Amino acid sequence: MNYPNQVLSDKNTVHPTNVFINFPKQETEQSIASRFLKQVINYPNKIAVKSRIYEWTYTDLNRRSDQIAQKILTTLGNQKERVAILFEHDAPMIAATLGVLKLGKTYVPLDGAFPKERLSYMLSDSAATAILTNSQNIKFAKSLVQNELPIINIDEINFGDEDFKSCQILAMPEDIAYILYTSGSTGKPKGVMQSNRNVLHHMRIWTNSLHISSDDKLTLFSSYSWDSSVQDIFGALLNGACVSPFDVKHEGLENMCQWIIDQEITIYHSTVPLYRHLAKIITGQENFGELRLLILGGDIIHKGDVELYKKYFSDKSIIVNAYGSTESTTCLQYFVNKNTNLTQNVIPAGYAVDDTEVLLLNDDGEQVKVGEIGELVVKSAYIALGYWQKPDETAKKFQVDPTDIAKKSYRMGDLGYIQSDGSIALAGRKDFQTKIRGFRVEIGEIEATLSQHPKVQEAVVVVWEDTPLEKRLVAYIVVDQKQTFTITELRSFLKERLPEYLIPSSFTFIDKLPLTPNHKIDRRALPAPIKTSLEKEYVAPRTIIEETIARIWSELLNVERVGIYDNFLDLGGDSLIGFQVIVRAKQAGILITIRQLRKYPTIAELAAVVKTNSSLHIDQSSVTGLVPLTPIKYWVFEQNFVDLHQWSQSVLLDVKESIDLYILEKSLQQILVHHDALRIRFFQNDSKWQQLISPPEESKFFIEVVDLSFLQQEGQIQALDEAVLKLKTSLNLIEGPLFKAVFFKLGKTSLGKILLVFHQTIVDGVSWRILLEDLQAIYKNLIQERTIKLPLKTTSFKFWAEKLQEYAKSTSINSELEYWEKVFQNPIKRLPVVYPNSNKELAITKDISTSLNAKETQILLQAVSKIYGTRIDIVLLTAMVKSFSEWTGNRALWVDLIGHGREAIIEDVDLSRTVGWFTTLCPVFLDINQADSLEDELNLVQKELQSIPNQGISYGLLRFLHGNPKFAEKMKNIQAEVSFNYLGQFDQALPTSSLFQLASESSQIVRGRPSHPLEITATIIGGQIYLDWTYSVHVYKQTLVEQLSQSFLEVIRSMIIHSQSVISFN
């Protein structure tokens, strides 16, 4: 029978182009094991399975599966029967599966993550005659069978037996290969049967459509109890390719990106939700150059998913929508590359695969017209054999084609329509079956299980979508009002009977279920689910770790307030959200594992067992000797500044209590001893600068005392300015010192001031905070005659500098080259020249300081950033581009961003309390020409900054340490004439209880000289933002810089006014 509106096959316009060996149709008339054996003969020494623990060639895997088969044969005999297999997600599971198949027996996979009751049912229903397992799982296996079934432990096999003979393959094409249990609407899972012949047919489709070759390396993420694992395992092993198992639950989502790169994966296959979570942790610096296919299934693929693919993966890669079910396997495919023009938000399910018809039928079984919605019906000779020991349900779902008895049709339960190009688009579910996180879920099974609880009168489960693409199950429960009942009790009841993905994320108790006029349950009238534990009084976090975890949970779970006794699962958490918790916690310095999150589901429990990055063991002894130059120091010496010795930073402190100068001097001496980088000295060898850290005993510190008490206030101010200039000119890179301090006596009206001056090459903004904190702590310890107690040292500056050298020459940095090649394509437009004949000498400079008042600063920090969803530095940079455009006439600007440089690019490094000059310089091209509104301008700047790999640290590494002169020259050419440095809230380094406070004269960290013709530094001190403009008088006129600084303030104030109008409107 011909159906004019059936879905067309093989109409994809995008296809893989790599060379492969065609899988002919006649190859399906054999067993899976026979086809595998041919690959063993063709590729004996190629890697068949590779994980973090195992790496087996085809010869290794074949031998192990032979010996497992022999063990099964000895124990059970050669009759056709079911053998349950219970293994972890790794290579032994694959060997065991092949061992069962070689004997013509049927494997029944048992996922250890499933509840014991569910696994016991599967064992009983399948009539399995034994459990095949290993030592790691044998204890659990014994608890399942209770001595009723034999247990075969493969770890008892001597795999090194040289005298072992190959096993004879007993399997036939018609033998049942597996029984996979899926969610059942009756409350019990049902086993889907598939034959060897049918599996080979689907592997033929998989091979030929994806061009799988012996050069491919395939992922294996899904459990072996799901049909997608069949495609991954045998898609590889029946083609001489390599399959790489990765256990997401145990190995961690945060490690997946690097694993894909390290394993050189070419074919990625996962559910759509797992892909989305992976995309969230991709930074854009990764190089997935080997990856050619991203196969997604288990849910609808949206246009946004394809945009993520286009953003992060190579141009040669293709994304594949693979649609199907356990009963049909993949029956529709749709291929997309980076040139595909997507006109709709939802990606089509695609076109029918070879030897498969896909029809769209109405309730009367008639074909619908193009564009009309109907139920998908798959017709083929290769769909599943039926449901194990369920003839009635099999007859209902699998119908024999009266025109061809070799074919059967299967109703998918999905609704869809045929598009004008012949492809099919999905339009939802016909029944209450759905997919959550890629797992097929029968709502009826959950409702039936809930109804088994003696206190539950009625139960309804629905799919809820708080935010687009984030589906979750929610349950509505009617209970006897006289009964006491808790969510924890109900959740525990379900955990014993259902796998995790079938347990609702929230439970709402209602008096009665709403009904339609037809007396059916009105699911649309159900109230919004309540996302709270509802069982315990709120208890606020008590420690920094608890506060951090509570904040992360609140953000990810959309819960306004999280208490320390709230349960992660009760709040709607699941394993995939758990991985996001781990990633964010790690960024905050807290190390959590997925096992800890499961075992300790409340914040109170979790905070007590987690570790922090400070758990890293770091040598506490003094660091000395040669230190490699870091990129920023290479840059400084490249400039050939004539007054480099004077390049310093200084801070003036008001003393709040009477100071013992002897104790103060000893305190500063201890600062030198504890922070090794402060003892750096420089020397030249063959005209090349080098640096070394001298031993503590060679660095004696003396504080200078200047008595200004005899001067009036105006005279004191002038004397202070002269002292700053004198100290700057007294520093010497080669002979030292690079750190000086002066105490100013100011008479009865003041307790005095302390001036600290450091050479720029040994400190940065972060260092100042550490040094001021430590100076206060040491002084207090000494004045109270206590032992000096400082936090432990973190990673030394020397170690960091050495590791940067290694990183700059490693393959890790190569992934960032593509970003910089794109940056090179931006037009180089220099700022207008004010003094054409100037040699741009930077030594003579002037400063202009502007500021916002405290109220303006508060609005900028709290309202503006929150309303526009962006950071304060992005707001300031956007204002900078807008203000400069009034001068240049161009709404684009090259800016050298000054960063803190303490990026997490090297493992086992903690720089949180390391003093040194870590600063990075990164040119960025900020272009807001395409923006039509303030929101657009902010978004464009934010997007550009977010695209910079590792906050721009690679600029210096590639320019000075990578070893590619041509690339380094390109990097040099894009350096900007204006720099921007956001130092943040600097006065937070000194609490109100401090002995010192920043003097009013220190509205800025005094800079000795500029690194650029024009520098802008933003600092928050005393609740106000100070914008300091330092410029070379030989390059720019004072009137110009004053105009720019005022224009900058006006733009910021206009943003503040705009944000207030938005608040008023809302």
Dump pLDDT digits (tens) for 886-940: 888 889 999 999 988 887 788 777 777 889 999 999 999 999 998 888 888 888 9
Residues 745 and 817 reside in one and the same domain = no
Q: Are 978 and 1013 in contact (CB under 8 A)?
A: yes
* pLDDT for 484: 65
Residues 575 and 492 reside in one and the same domain = no
Would you report the helix, strand and coil content of the chain in percent, each value rounded to 5?
A: 40, 25, 40
Positive/negative CA dihedral, 541, 777, 919, 957: negative
Question: Which residues in the chain come in under a pLDDT of 50?
Answer: 1-4, 518, 532-536, 838-840, 988-989, 1003-1008, 1063-1066
Cα separation, 412 vs 332, in Å, equals: 12
Q: Hey, which residues does 270 pair with through a beta bridge?
A: 296
Calculate Rg over the CA atoms of the chain: 34
Q: From the CB of residue 156, how many other CB atoms can be counted at a distance below 10 Å?
A: 10
Supply 677's token pair.
């980088």
Q: Are 1000 and 854 in contact (CB under 8 A)?
A: no
Residues 759 and 877 reside in one and the same domain = no
Q: Is residue 252 part of a domain?
A: no
Q: Is residue 205 part of a domain?
A: no
Q: From the CB of residue 803, how many other CB atoms can be counted at a distance below 10 Å?
A: 18
Domain boundary among the residues 198, 222, 257 is at 198
Positive/negative CA dihedral, 9, 20, 244, 906: negative
Cα separation, 739 vs 674, in Å, equals: 14
CATH, residue 481: 3.30.300.30
- Residues 481-533 have pLDDT tens digits of 656 667 777 887 888 888 777 888 788 888 877 865 545 577 778 887 765 44
Supply 404's token pair.
């061809």
Q: Is residue 754 part of a domain?
A: yes
The half-sphere exposure of 280 on its side-chain side, counting CA atoms within 13 A, is: 17
Residues 735 and 638 reside in one and the same domain = yes
Q: Is residue 245 part of a domain?
A: no
CATH, residue 680: 3.30.559.10
Q: Are 273 and 437 in contact (CB under 8 A)?
A: yes
Residues 637 and 750 reside in one and the same domain = yes
CATH, residue 994: 3.30.559.30
Written as one letter, the residue type at 526 is L
Residues 731 and 874 reside in one and the same domain = no
Range of 458's domain?
Answer: 433-512
Q: Can you state the angle between helices 196-210 and 32-42, rounded to 10 degrees?
A: 50
> What are the phi and psi torsion angles at 334 (to 5°)?
-140, 125
Q: Is residue 311 part of a domain?
A: no
Residues 649 and 505 reside in one and the same domain = no
* pLDDT for 1004: 40
Positive/negative CA dihedral, 280, 281, 286, 289: negative
Which of these, 108, 42, 115, 943, lies nearest to 503 by C-alpha position?
A: 115
What separation in angstroms does the CA of 24 have from each of 175, 205, 218?
A: 20, 10, 21
Domain boundary among the residues 198, 228, 249 is at 198
Cα separation, 697 vs 789, in Å, equals: 20
Domain boundary among the residues 167, 198, 229 is at 198
Residues 581 and 634 reside in one and the same domain = no
Q: Are 997 and 656 in contact (CB under 8 A)?
A: yes
Write down the residue that tokens 């100013």 correspond to.
744
DSSP state of 562: -
Q: Is residue 567 part of a domain?
A: yes
- To the nearest 10°, the Cα dihedral for 556, 562, 565, 570? -50
Q: Are 1021 and 1044 in contact (CB under 8 A)?
A: no
Q: Identify each DSSP E strand in 272-317 by its residue range.
A: 293-297
Cα separation, 521 vs 869, in Å, equals: 41
3-state secondary structure (DSSP) of residue 890: coil
* pLDDT for 986: 60
Q: Are 754 and 652 in contact (CB under 8 A)?
A: yes
3-state secondary structure (DSSP) of residue 999: coil
Q: Are 451 and 457 in contact (CB under 8 A)?
A: no
* pLDDT for 828: 81
pTM over 0.85: no
Which of these, 831, 816, 825, 824, lies nearest to 976 by C-alpha position?
A: 831
Residues 490 and 594 reside in one and the same domain = no
Cα separation, 619 vs 985, in Å, equals: 31
Which of these, 334, 543, 491, 529, lies nearest to 423 by C-alpha position?
A: 334
DSSP per residue, 62-107: HHHHHHHHHHHHHHH-SS--EEEE---SSHHHHHHHHHHHHTT-EE
The angle subtended at Cα 755 by Cα 1002 and Cα 1033, nearest 5°, is: 55
Supply 592's token pair.
């959590």
Residues 1005 and 983 reside in one and the same domain = yes
Q: Are 854 and 987 in contact (CB under 8 A)?
A: no
Cα separation, 676 vs 121, in Å, equals: 65
Q: Is residue 214 part of a domain?
A: no
Element (H, E) at 260: helix 256-262
Query: Which residues 6+ apart lie within 8 Å of 598 measured at CB?
Result: 578
Residues 672 and 580 reside in one and the same domain = no
Q: Is residue 824 part of a domain?
A: yes
Alpha helices in 452-500 (DSSP H): 487-495
How many domains does one find in the chain?
Answer: 5
Q: Are 410 and 441 in contact (CB under 8 A)?
A: no
What separation in angstroms does the CA of 665 have from each of 654, 739, 782, 979, 990?
A: 17, 13, 11, 36, 19
Residues 458 and 599 reside in one and the same domain = no
The angle subtended at Cα 1042 by Cα 1039 and Cα 1046, nearest 5°, is: 140
